[in-house]
Amino acid sequence: MIEKNRNILSNALKDMPVRSPKATNWDHISNDLDQIETSAFISETKSKLPKHKAPEDAWANIASGLASPASSFFNSLTGRLITASVLLGGIIGAYFLFTSPSPLHNEIEEQIPVPEVSVHDQAKEVQQHEINAKVEVSELSQANDAPQNEIIFIPASNGPDLTQNTQEPRFNNIVYFNDDNSNTRIKSGEKLNKLEPVPPGQLTASAKNNKKPRYYTSRSDKSYSNYYMQDPGKPKFKFGIFYSYKQFQDIDQEGMDIPQHLSSFGIDLYYETHKWFFKTGLEYLSWEEKGNYTFDYDQNQMIYQYNYVDSVLVNTGNDQITYYTSEKQVFDSIPLQKSDQVIYNYKILQIPILIGYKLVDHSKFNLAIIGGIGCDLRVSGKQFTPVFNEESSTITDINNSLEYRSNINWRLIGGVEIDYLFTNKWGLYAEPTYQQYMKPLYVPNTSKGVGLFSIKVGIKYSF
């Protein structure tokens, strides 16, 4: 690059005007220096302040104010899953515990091998051995009409007196059972052994024909009712599917739109023995709650504009002055406020643990009172995500004091259950209850727990 007459540039550079800053500049600098000195003084002084030792019991007070490990365990998803698994496992375990056969079952089964002969053959053998039977012929003829490979229970008082017999009858499906607590007369088959007394409801005999013995439970067939052992009170399990409607009381929260009633579905599991029953299950609730929140933000907005004179051209020939201007815009940060809606999407599992007592126990109609507790586990509580698309803006404050559902809560439950059985296995049931939450539904909130009326309607199956 060749630069001609560079001295012209040098001279022009020297002639360039020198400008002065604002007169108030020094004041600003001086003030800032004062603040710096003050900050330095405070910092220096702070380091000289006496230091105090924290009280020894401070941590103990802090720790007592923190949430207990058990609470945090139940609040975690893992804790909830483990709790639900333990409850479910307990129910399944209880089922197997109460439905598994007694150890006496196998023992007796081995002691009473029964040959596979027809009912007619059995009748003939009864005659051939001329047993001194006390059974009426008509009753034996009824026994002959019994289904094949079916065990028939006949009261020992009506059967042969086997205490003095050396020969034993050869029946494969007739069992004499004791009705006067004398175990010497309970005999059956060709190898009858002395049987130990067994509790009611316990299996007493078995055939080796791959068909399990059973209790006579048919209500329609009365022909063998005298010979079949009636069910002496076997525990029953029941399973129900229901629809539930809940009406909350005093659930209003300021600034929130909360549904006053909810509908849900669920299952019930029952374990019944005589008039008492234990009941648990699972109920799933899902709903939305809405509320409003506000947030403050600063937005960079144009507050005014003006024409800036870039240069002035004076034409000395005609004294005309030409102004060259450009439009300047002045922006400033404007504090603004905006409202938006919150949507909470809740999903809750409810697990009741109830005990019931049947006040009315008819074949078609039952009425029971029930009471217990229920656990609410919040499995999901998705909250809003603030979406803020304003350009050149910064959120300065979010006023979101809205409350949300607690992770876990307990209810006291009391009510009645009404059953209508249209068969011996199937029935309809209704369960009106009043439920009182033991803790506030929403946190942070110091108010008492709310109450609710609930009505369940479902179908029940016994097995």
Partner 1 sequence: MVAGCRKNNRKIQKLLYDRYCDAMFTIAYRIINDYDNANDILQEAFIQIFRDIKKFRGDSTLGAWIKTIVVRTAIRKLKKENTFTQPGFHPNGETISWPEEMTGDDLEKAILSLADGCRTIFLLIEVEGYKHKEVAEMLNISVGTSKSQLHYAKKQLQVLLKDFIER
- The residue ranges that bind partner 1 (CB under 8 A) are 1-6, 8-9, 12-22, 25-26, 28-30, 32-33, 36-37, 311, 313
Cβ 331 to partner 1, closest distance in Å? 13
**Residue 86 contacts by C-beta under 8 Å, 6 or more apart in sequence?**
none
**Number of Cβ atoms within 10 Å of the Cβ of 144:** 14
Cβ 14 to partner 1, closest distance in Å? 7
Q: Which is nearer to partner 1, 308 or 426 (CB)?
A: 308
**Residue 431 contacts by C-beta under 8 Å, 6 or more apart in sequence?**
242, 370, 415, 416, 417, 418, 454, 455, 456, 457, 458
Q: Which is nearer to partner 1, 3 or 56 (CB)?
A: 3
SS3 per residue for 53-96: CCCCCHHHHHHHHCCCHHHHHHHCHHHHHHHHHHHHHHHHHHHH
Q: Which is nearer to partner 1, 37 or 288 (CB)?
A: 37
Three-class secondary structure of residue 282 per DSSP: strand
Cβ 17 to partner 1, closest distance in Å? 6
Q: Which is nearer to partner 1, 7 or 166 (CB)?
A: 7
Radius of gyration of the chain, Cα coordinates, nearest whole angstrom: 45
Cβ 26 to partner 1, closest distance in Å? 6
Cβ 19 to partner 1, closest distance in Å? 5
Instruction: Compute CA distances 70 → 73, 74, 84, 352, 417, whole Å.
Output: 5, 6, 15, 20, 34
The CA-CA-CA angle for residues 416, 421, 424, to 5°, reads 130
Q: Which is nearer to partner 1, 18 or 66 (CB)?
A: 18
Q: Which is nearer to partner 1, 15 or 44 (CB)?
A: 15
Cβ 393 to partner 1, closest distance in Å? 20
Q: What interhelical angle do 137-144 and 119-128 show, nearest 10?
A: 150
